[in-house]
Structure 1
């Protein structure tokens, strides 16, 4: 399969940031107290929930790959363009990712500009700065992986939309350098964990893991391996039962390194995925209020699971029983399960980096340094396979460095199916 970044698929005639005007009141009169900054940081987190960044990420990470296809595959629909590699410049998912990303980046930039002048606890101030830098880094990572060269804006925009036209695109290498800088600076001020209402905020482990992922994406395997080993050495994370990693009642658990937070019954803070991915015309048989049939698993992905892999039956289904007791053959994603009181208002977080991801990326880095079938690379690969109730791999199964690369590609595909990794994994490898 020949792959290329989405930047090569989308012809874009704009060299500016297409943003809605930002209120001058929010910039000028709001940032006065520590309480104001707390609200602003919460707003920056909320920016990561935006459809273009999180809830539509499956379009970029899954439908663009060989994992899934849209409900109307074969027709000229907005999502289908990603499946067919024919993306118009007017495609709304392209513009929403761009606009949502830069609006959220501007929120983080404004915090970083305003916070120094505010009197507040020094430790808390340092943490808020670190959180804003992490959020900005994450957003730029999503943008640069999607579009290639993007405008690098590190200050807030004024209320004038015309200001957005001043920014040309910045080379990929410079954008990555800023991302690495933000994450390295964020690390020291972030805690290992949180309690109470602060659970779900970014931690030092999240910063290290994201930096590792940024580095491995650039094929800086030695540097990436250092960051992943640091995450492991925190002794904070662990793998859990596969189903538990996605149970909305157990979110932010031991395997969760970084998740985008959602909550039901909180005025639009819910995650639409469980409804969006359930079969069309299924009524309440799969989920209350039915489903949209989006992000359908391909037969190629279904066939990629080994016999006995427990991840398959948890992650997808090929049929359901309707209200009349009939078995309906219809393939769909069932990894994100819920029982919403309102259509699309589900409490499921979106996993961005799980500990399993850290272990497999670290194994990948070790293999790139040197093939060693008796070393930690094989050990971490087998740790993930054991959880899936699969037999361990040995040097007989994986006799070379290249064979390990292929085994890793296969393992990542089934481990992280429907989590938005597949396309980006194919591009970077």
Structure 2
């Protein structure tokens, strides 16, 4: 039988899950699905584990975004990030394929939970709702990440949405070929999943730490605020961001550095946990060999100079440097991630983002309060209040604040794409390993290619413009 690439990904995730029997056949019987509380707990842990993988938030997703922008650059030997960094991407790019595969494995894990949890007899209704709410939230997050990466933003970039499998994969046949939904329908599914999650999730989990490491109502509201900013539905973005800001659980950490030195601080809305058993890999790629890293990825020199320009900004101090033999600076690396043993947590959503979402939406709508929201983030970093005379246009000042605040957290590329600013801002980016600046000039490259294995094996899977078949 001809290989059906995306379906094989989904089927593999079902058969390899530690709560499902592994049956080497083309159909998975209904009995393989988990059917008790213990199995549901394991399935939920497995879903979060998909996000932790190095191919996703364990390293790859952030680096793909930041190397596509003016935050990070490839300076090592790994060609697949250099392709992204220089806007010369091929549809066979391994890191893009890795993200695509792991993301859809996560979708299938969520689909299994959504399908099976309602029938589990030894779960209370409240526990069922909790599990279902988390599964819908995480599926919505994954679909959001996939459509940003491969679909674009309606009216700004991209022409097609993504594949939207909503049921567990159980059988391989010709009907399993998955087509791409429209871009509008893909975003509508994200919204539906997040709103469903909001109705089902509890206000808190077992303790404060778990309420930041697992989805709760505040987590869903925060991602809905981000969603509506992307959709230019500014009043809704303001409303959800305000709901989160008004939640006493989430407080701007007075120390920016403490957010990354510690774990699960008041700053955190949704934070992936890593430890010696489940290690993050992002530190390894940035830190030099002298600090037990591989040093393939570095900060852009212009970014470092920009962030260091104001000595009062603590964020400009969070860089290390690698020296040449003559003691001149070779390149810089971020120190947000430097815990020995690769146990840095990763923040998917922080409360600072809610203030900047509300600031941007208020500024665009001409509402009062945008400057106050911006100053909450600026002041924490050590900067004075925003001033038109000093800082220029308010919208651009908020864009700059997002750039500094979330550098190396995977936001910048998607921010530039959603605002329609990518082709302007990335028109001449200096790179350490290039004698001339690199420019992004082709609007087709505002979205990543669907992996070639997918388009070659699935006749219904259309490739994005500019990447061949």
Category of TM-score, reference length = shorter chain: 0.7 to 0.9
Question: Which of residues 208, 229, 235 in structure 2 aligns to 1:216?
Answer: 229
For the pair 1:273 / 2:282, whether they are aligned, the reply is yes
2: CA distance between counterparts of 1:92 and 1:52?
10
2: CA distance between counterparts of 1:327 and 1:164?
60
SS in 2 for 1:25: coil
Aligned partners of 1:236 and 1:254 also within 8 Å:
yes
Question: Which of residues 29, 53, 61 in structure 1 aligns to 2:65?
Answer: 61
Aligned partners of 1:187 and 1:208 also within 8 Å:
yes
SS in 1 for 2:80: coil
Quote how far apart the aligned CAs of 1:236 are.
Answer: 1.7
Residue of structure 2 in register with 1:369 after alignment: 365
2: CA distance between counterparts of 1:59 and 1:230?
31
Residue of structure 2 in register with 1:132 after alignment: 135
Please tell me the root mean square deviation across aligned C-alpha atoms, in Å.
Answer: 2.4
For the pair 1:422 / 2:434, whether they are aligned, the reply is no
Give the TM-score normalised by the residue count of structure 2: 0.77
Aligned partners of 1:320 and 1:330 also within 8 Å:
yes
Residue of structure 1 in register with 2:258 after alignment: 244
SS in 2 for 1:82: helix
Q: How does 1:74-93 map to 2 (within 5 A)?
A: 77-93=79-95
For the pair 1:150 / 2:162, whether they are aligned, the reply is yes
Residue of structure 1 in register with 2:204 after alignment: 193
Residue of structure 2 in register with 1:3 after alignment: none
The one-character-per-residue Cα deviations of 1:6-35 (angstroms, maximum 9, x if unpaired) are: xxxxxxxx9955516342736633411111
1:117/1:332 CA distance change after superposition, 3 Å:
same
Question: Which of residues 267, 273, 286 in structure 2 aligns to 1:255?
Answer: 267
Q: How many residues align?
A: 386
Residue of structure 2 in register with 1:378 after alignment: 371
Gaps of 5+ in 2: 23-29, 152-160, 420-469
Greater CA deviation, 130-139 or 224-233? 224-233
2: CA distance between counterparts of 1:131 and 1:210?
13
The one-character-per-residue Cα deviations of 1:104-124 (angstroms, maximum 9, x if unpaired) are: 100000111111111121101
2: CA distance between counterparts of 1:195 and 1:16?
36
Quote how far apart the aligned CAs of 1:319 are.
Answer: 3.9
1:235/1:221 CA distance change after superposition, 3 Å:
same
The one-character-per-residue Cα deviations of 1:32-56 (angstroms, maximum 9, x if unpaired) are: 1111111111111111112332120
1:78/1:395 CA distance change after superposition, 3 Å:
closer
2: CA distance between counterparts of 1:29 and 1:428?
42
Quote how far apart the aligned CAs of 1:275 are.
Answer: 2.2
Aligned partners of 1:359 and 1:381 also within 8 Å:
yes
Residue of structure 2 in register with 1:10 after alignment: none
Question: Which of residues 205, 212, 216 in structure 1 aligns to 2:218?
Answer: 205
Quote how far apart the aligned CAs of 1:254 are.
Answer: 0.5
Aligned partners of 1:219 and 1:428 also within 8 Å:
no
Aligned partners of 1:62 and 1:295 also within 8 Å:
no
Greater CA deviation, 409-418 or 46-55? 46-55
